[in-house]
Amino acid sequence: MMKRTRTAAIAALGLGVALAASACAGGGSSSGGGSSSSGPVTLTFWTNATPGPGLTYFQNAIKTFHTLHPHVTIKMQTIQNEDYDGKLQTALNSNSTPDIFFQRGGGKMLAMVNASKVQPLTLTAADKQNISAAAVATESVNGKVYAIPLDVQPEGIYYSKDLFAHAGITATPTTIPELEADVAKLKATGVAPIAVGAKDAWPAAHWYYNFALRECSQATMNEVGATLKFTDPCWTKAGNDLAAFLKVKPFQAGFLTTAAQVGAGSSAGLVANHKAGMELMGAWDPGTIQTLTPNQKPLPDLGWFPFPAVPGGQGDPSAMMGGIDGYSLSPNAPKEAFQFLEFLVTPDQQKLYSQAFVTIPVNKASQSVVTQPYSVSALEALNKAGYTMQFLDTQYGQNVGNAMNAAVVDLFAGKGTPAGIVSATSEAAAKG
Amino acid sequence: MSDTLGTAAVGRGHRGALQAGDAAHAASPAPRPRKRRGRGRLRLEIALLSGPAIIVFVGLVIFPVVLAAYYGFYRWQGYGAPTDWVGLNNYKVIFTDPAFQQALEHNGFIVVLSLVIQGPLALALALLLNQNIRGRGLIRVLIFVPYVISEVIAGTGFSLMLQVNGAVNDALHNIGLGFLATDWLANPSIAIWTLMGILTWKYVGFAVILMLAGMQAIPDELSEAARIDGASYWQVQRRIVVPLLGPTIRIWGFLSIIGALQLFDLVYIIWGQYISSTAGTSTMATYMALNGRLAGNYGYGSAVAVVMFLISITVALLYQRFVLRRDMRGAVTEGVN
């Protein structure tokens, strides 16, 4: 009897130790196998793709790759987008780093590069043919490539052709004064002119990014990436432009508590249900809108036009904001992991990818599959663009980007000033 | 006294229960004097039984606090080991950041208003529900239900209902009170009162249950005696029930203050990751999430966590020293002895 009690106590103590130990260790299945390997290879692959055509695409791509290289098995793990960064960070700091992982780029990638947590890649001539130099440049740090981009997501304004026609708008606006006139026409018909999901901050901040893109020269914007000093007057001018634009009250009522992508009340949902005329968003928007229409089918009258020109700005009026989705390798990932990324940017795979994710593939040879009118407009604008600039919260890193986003929301809410955006970004530099 | 009577009454009905109760009573109050060997065994048993809990507590509470203090001295993005030592700079930035000062003000506001609003309300409800009224059980359940609902569900529900085009404004329009309809969540001069309303709805049930339990523990004899001496209902409540409820009220105040200082989930769900400071509902915890985790400044975020910890523990210790001291000595029994 007594003996049993003691055994139980020791067992309980052991369990406690085990619990504490496992909490600290956090799993340890390392799969990094050096840079060359000949026997069977198992790779781990992390993506933020959600169930649906996108996930099915990756499953099929992994199967096809396995047929081509029977000794390579790829294990895919999907992670919910908002959980992704935290889990990846934990994994990168431990020994359980995934071999291939979704890469957001920009300042996030820079932090990984600085900590040597990501593998530099050497592109072959064939790779360079598959991926445009501009796309490669956005995935590079100091001339070294750290991720393979799969698609480009140029930003512009998605609008409802029916609502525009109903308001008597015959041509899409090309300047901000024209846009303001269209806002007034849409208002008169009783719909919200522009939807914005300010609760998520970045959708509101994208308006500031695009005004900055029009006001600031390419050189200025690139320089700031290195110095993080927003001293050029164009940054305040962009804020003044936005403040003036906000005066015409272009956004839906209650925009501050509207989310961007979740539910019929979100900004994408307002466009999907013809409650709002337009929204400024990246190329993933049609896919999001599609899931929020009453019948979950693509919005038939969806159109696209680039962000209007700002009279007197120093930026190229054709320049575009955009994002890029890429994939990186962990420092110890074997060469087969790189082969898989090379495989993903081949023309056939890129066509399938683009169809599954409803985006513009990074491989120009595959862009023929882009047929929806809004994507064709976006693609044409992209191919004509003088240059593309990554979303500023990516370009300038999470810390400064985060502060900029929050300051723009304050301006939207009438609480902040254009100068406040500049000072908030400078103050953020003190925190990290 | 009343406890013994109760046990006996139950025992009469259920034979088995009486025997079991007797056995337990016989075992606990009179421990046989142990030998020296027995005392060593007892120590070992205590060590073994409390060991797991201590290890988990040290590993999951103390160790992270120490780590946070360590990271708080670095400028650190969370990748690899921290190397960029900045001394107390993070703390300097925290205390000069107007956004943190605002968050702290909001926390203070919520601490005070929670006590001022929820305390009297809960006491009134508890006094009411301590009466023999019809549907007492149902009302108790209804008041307690919000506390049981998860913060995420309550927050999502309120954020949908309180939208400009949401159910609350629609209802106000329909009953002819349309002039009251407003932007409950985004208007900075209203949002924090909206938050107080939701917090009261959510947590008053907990206070009521605590106070009801406290009232159950007050012996009936006291109020019976008072009533025989001619005390009115209100006199009984004011002179006997509320004073004897003191320890419960003070403990509830403690829990309420700590909860208000660390408030995070409801604000985070309703106002999202970014706009709580714009709407004027940010708290120290949402400030930490925004400037630490979301901004990727894990060093700075750790420093904020340390500041929060120090503020909470200072308040907790002061409260224990000056408010709970009497209860620790057993204020209730003192009068009887």
Residue range A280-321, pLDDT digits in tens: 999 888 888 888 888 888 899 999 999 999 988 899 899 999
Question: How large is the average pLDDT for residues B256-262?
Answer: 94
Distance separating alpha carbons of residues A379 and A43, to the nearest angstrom = 34
pLDDT tens-digit profile of B293-302? 888 889 999 9
Instruction: List CB contacts (< 8 A) between A257 and chain B.
Output: 159, 163-164, 185-186, 271-272, 275, 279
Q: Could you tell me the pLDDT band of residue B329, with boundaries at 50, 70 and 90?
A: low
Banded model confidence at residue A6, pLDDT cuts 50, 70, 90: very low
- CA dist., res. A196 & res. A280, Å (int): 8
Which residues on chain B are in Cβ contact (under 8 Å) with A430? 89, 93
Of A267-271, B137-141, B234-238, B329-333, the range with the highest mean pLDDT is: A267-271
Q: How far apart are CA B187 and CA B325, in angstroms?
A: 42
Say whether pLDDT at A1 is over 60: no
Please state, rounded to an integer, the average pLDDT across all residues of chain B: 85
Which residues of chain A make contact with B185, given a CB cutoff of 8 A?
A: 254, 256-257
pLDDT at A233 over 60: yes
The residue ranges of every structural domain in chain A are 41-153+323-380, 156-321+390-428
Phi, psi (rounded to 5 degrees) for A118? -145, 145
CATH node for B90-329 = 1.10.3720.10
Identify all chain A residues contacting B52, using CB atoms and an 8 Å cutoff. Answer: 12-13, 15-17, 19
CB contact under 8 A, A89 and B79: yes
CATH topology of domain A156-321+390-428: D-Maltodextrin-Binding Protein; domain 2 (3.40.190)
Q: What pLDDT does A225 receive?
A: 81
pLDDT at A38: 64
Is B302 at the interface with chain A, CB within 8 A? no
- By C-alpha distance, the chain B residue nearest A402 is B295
Say yes or no: do domains A41-153+323-380 and A156-321+390-428 share a fold: yes
- Residue type, position A163, single letter: L
Q: Is A226 on the interface with B (CB under 8 A)?
A: no
Percent of chain B with pLDDT over 90: 54
- Rounded distance, CA A35 to CA A294, Å? 50
- Partner-chain contact A20 B275, CB within 8 Å: no
Give the pLDDT confidence of B25-41 residue by residue, as tens digits: 444 445 555 555 678 88
Interface test with A, best of B62, B270, B278 (most A CBs within 10 A): B278
Q: Is the pLDDT of residue B255 over 90?
A: yes
- Give the CA dihedral B214, B220, B225, B231, nearest 10 degrees: 60
**CATH class given for the domain over A41-153+323-380:** alpha beta
On the question of pLDDT at A14 being above 50, the answer is no
- Mutation for B interface: A117, A200, A257, most B CBs within 10 A: A257
* Inter-chain residue contact A256 with B185, CB threshold 8 Å: yes
A190 φ/ψ angles, rounded to the nearest 5 degrees: 95, 0
CB contact under 8 A, A16 and B55: yes
| pLDDT digits 0-9 by tens, B221-232 | 898 899 899 888
pLDDT bucket at B79, cuts 50 / 70 / 90 = confident
B49 touches chain A (CB under 8 A): yes
Contact A427 B97 (CB under 8 A): yes
- pLDDT tens digits, one per residue of B81-104: 888 899 899 999 999 998 999 999
Contacts of B12 (CB under 8 A, 6+ apart): B18
Give the ipTM.
0.76
Please say if the pLDDT value at position B13 is more than 70. Answer: no
Domain boundaries, chain B: 1-31, 90-329
Tens-digit pLDDT profile for residues A150-167: 988 899 999 999 999 999
Q: Which residues of A touch B97 (CB under 8 A)?
A: 427
Q: What is the pLDDT of residue B176?
A: 87
Report the residue of chain A nearest B297, measured CA to CA: A432
Alpha-carbon gap, residue A428 to A393, rounded angstroms:
12
> How far is A406 from A252, CA to CA, in rounded Å?
19
How does residue B2 score in pLDDT terms, banded at 50, 70 and 90? Answer: very low
Q: Does A248 touch chain B (CB under 8 A)?
A: no
Name the β-bridge partners of A160. Answer: A302
* Average pLDDT score over residue span A413-424: 90
Share of chain B above pLDDT 70, in %: 86
